[in-house]
Amino acid sequence: MGVMNKMRDNMAGIMIFLVVVFVLTMSVGGLVGGADITDLLGGNQPNAFTLVNGEEMSRETFMRSLQNERDNIRERNGVEPTEDQMLQLTDQVWETMVTQMLIQQAVNEQDLTISPEEVRYFFTENIHPSVRQYFVNENGQFDYNAYQNAVGSPEAASFFAAMRQQVSAIVPVEKLQQKVIAGAQVSSAEVRSEYMRSNIDYSFDYMLVKSALWKDTEVETSDDALKTYYNENIADYQQDETRTLKIISKEIKTTASDSTRAYNLINDVKAEILAGASFESMAQIHSDGPSSTNGGYLGWFGRGKMTPPFEVAAFDATVGEVVGPIETQFGLHLIKVEATRNEGEAEVEARHILVEVRPSETTRDQIRRELKNLEFLADEIGFDKAADSLGMIPKVSNKLQQKDTFVSGVGSFQSAVRYAYLSDLGSHSRVMQNENNFAIFSLSEINPEGDLPFDQAKASISRKLINDSKLSKAAEAMGNLLPEINSNANWASIALEDRDGIVFKEIKDAKANVSTSGLGKYPQIFGFLENVRVGSISSVIKTTRGAAVVRLVSKSDVNEADYDMQYNELYKTLTQTRQNDAWNQYLISLRDDAEIVDNRLRLL
């Protein structure tokens, strides 16, 4: 009976999966979203929400998937996702659906299918994992008897019909994955090297000539060198399109009348309680705090747990007394102490009612009207002149990319970013609002995607070339020391002729997968140590801090029995990592080669 209940409980999730798969595998000819056949045949879909290589993702399909994920978050967390969480979720769902479409297109292009015989195989001889998960015993193992009983039950017919469709959708994708990761193999030498990284202890000496021993003024860079580097590495200096907004904003904040309204309300609530109303029921009706559903119950707390004004009032009150209103940064509180105890540390058990002091609709309307005056005047004479005539000084936003949500000066404001990317240069918006501000925006600058101008790249190129030159000087100095390093066992006595500050350190029992003091993590250093005999000295090794030379003092032996014991798990882990990397790189290549039309800004 438990297995049948579990199958019934999961039917909704299975059907959602099937609906998504069905929509994502429909061809353009399936008339997704009700497009006109002539538009589709001609490749013209001006109102498409998203096109992936000509295939449409409709707004309705996207919104259904987004709502499903929103419901999942609400079910897991018990609260609605915040605005910022919803912005992230919107992007995640869209990215996931685009990836699913690209995968399905690849499956179709490679004609990867599942035959009726294969379907039978996954339900008889080798039960597919997506089916197995519904038939596990208390030890987490597949219960074949429970599965067989379900197969023979008429009640399970609809469940297995749905599962056959699900397996039929999954297996072709699994075939694609197997093709992609087939070459992602790991050698025995790689397994041994990975074992050594985690288990072999190395003791070694190193000398380091730091790049910082040379001042910036000791190396030369010219404009010609900077421009040559810029031209030869132009692919590294690309910029996405950015847009900049001028902003006139008004913070939505409380007024004296808002405070009076809150005080009047909480005093009325207190009067009703003193007249006989239940504190718990009044908390459920009027309190803005999260404890309202529990009648304002806060439980037991000691000193230092609450904000100071609240704490003082609670510990000064007598049992059964209703005190307040008490003002804190959260609002106005009524407090009722239900009990006290003093077992080592004084504690009180209390309930409270919170009335937040927040801007009323009247306050909001007053703020909105101030900006409406600017909006109407800007319609007549333009944004800049209107702001100047009203004595308003615009702020300038950060450079906004299309996926940004944060706008400097006004915080999270996705609708403002959407406005920036749907508007013409010099235009201004209507009055808009987010959680804390009303604002009017004017699009003041558009920087197209493409090469970052040399003047903007110049500073970072100069910094790189200076650092590279200083590192080269450090490497040259270390190279000049090599004869002495190879002949003098006492490295601590070795110094540079023209400057102080060379570093000598003795490192004991270091592992390759752990950062080395003063050096950081450098695989090439441990690659050298792994393959040489005790006493061997490296050539000059460049690091981000300078030029180093290392000398192997000792290293522990490989515990062959332990290595043999760990081999299979290491091989499995390395193989899985390499296969995941291969699959992820394949997905990136699909995305890079795809033609994607993204109309979310216009249609959301």
When the candidates are 3.40.50, 3.30.870, 3.10.50, 3.30.70, the CATH number that belongs to 201-237+456-555 is 3.10.50
Compute the radius of gyration of the chain from its Cα atoms. 34
Domain 241-253+361-448, CATH class in plain words: alpha beta
Whether 516 contacts 443, CB under 8 Å: no
Tell me what pLDDT residue 22 has: 38
522 near 512, Cβ under 8 Å?
Answer: no
- Round to whole Å and give the CA distance between 12 and 331: 43
547-574: average pLDDT: 96
What single-letter DSSP state applies at residue 397? Answer: P
Q: Which residues contact 310 (CB under 8 A, 6 or more apart)?
A: 326, 328, 333, 335, 352
Q: What is the mean pLDDT of the chain?
A: 88
Indicate whether 476 pLDDT > 60: yes
Which CATH number is correct for 256-355, 3.30.70.20, 3.10.50.40, 3.40.50.720, 1.10.3720.10?
3.10.50.40
pLDDT, residue 47, reads 66
pLDDT exceeds cutoff 80 at 140: yes
The confidence score (pLDDT) of residue 463 equals 96
What would the pLDDT profile of 491-505 be if each residue is shown by its tens digit? 999 999 888 889 999
What is the mean pLDDT of the segment spanning 563-587?
95
Among 150-154, 522-526, 591-595, name the most confident range: 591-595
Give per-residue pLDDT as tens, 49-67.
999 999 999 999 999 999 9
Q: Is the pLDDT of residue 35 over 50?
A: no
Q: What is the C-alpha to C-alpha distance for residues 551 and 208, in angstroms, rounded to an integer?
A: 12
For 393-420, the pLDDT digits (tens) are: 999 999 999 888 899 999 988 889 989 9
Question: What is residue 291's predicted lDDT score, i.e. its pLDDT?
Answer: 85
Give the span between the Cα atoms of 54 and 44, in whole angstroms: 9
Q: Pairing relation of β-strands 345-355 and 297-302?
A: antiparallel
Q: Which is nearest to 551 in space by CA: 490, 499, 495, 604?
A: 490
C-alpha distance across the termini of the chain, in Å: 45
pLDDT at 26: 33
DSSP string, 545-598: SEEEEEEEEEEPPP-HHHHHHHHHHHHHHHHHHHHHHHHHHHHHHHHHH--EEE
Residue 25 pLDDT: 37
The pLDDT tens digits of the residues spanning 351-379 come to: 999 998 888 888 888 889 989 999 999 99
Cα–Cα distance list, 543 to 149, 427, 524, 531, 547 (Å): 64, 51, 10, 20, 6
* pLDDT score for 418: 87
Per-residue confidence at 45, pLDDT binned at 50, 70, 90? low
161 versus 80: the higher-pLDDT residue is 161
Instruction: Tell me: pLDDT of 323 over 50.
Output: yes
Higher pLDDT, 123 or 6: 123
Strand order in the sheet with 322-328: 297-302, 345-355, 331-343, 322-328
Tell me the average pLDDT across 226-253. 94
- Mean pLDDT confidence for 480-497: 94
pLDDT surpassing 90 at residue 39? no
Burial of residue 235, with CB atoms counted within 10 A of its CB: 0-12 exposed, 13-18 middle, 19 or more buried: exposed
**Rounded distance between C-alpha atoms, residue 573 and residue 567, angstroms:** 10
* pLDDT at residue 37, rounded to an integer: 32
Q: What is the pTM of this model?
A: 0.66
Distance, in Å, from the CA atom of 91 to the CA atom of 97, rounded to the nearest integer, reads 10
Q: What is the DSSP letter of 125?
A: T
Confidence grade of residue 293 (pLDDT, cut at 50, 70, 90): confident
Residue 288 — very low, low, confident or very high, per pLDDT cuts 50/70/90?
confident
Given a cut of 70, whether residue 44 has pLDDT beyond it is no
Pairing of strands 411-412, 406-407: antiparallel
1 has pLDDT over 90: no
> Residue 75: its pLDDT value, please?
83
Q: How many whole angstroms separate alpha carbon 349 and alpha carbon 337?
A: 6
Express as a percent the part of the chain with pLDDT over 90.
65
CATH 3.10.50.40 domain span(s) along the chain: 256-355
Q: Among the residues of 303-448, which ranges form H helices? A: 308-316, 361-381, 383-389, 414-422
Q: What is the mean pLDDT of residues 509-530?
A: 89
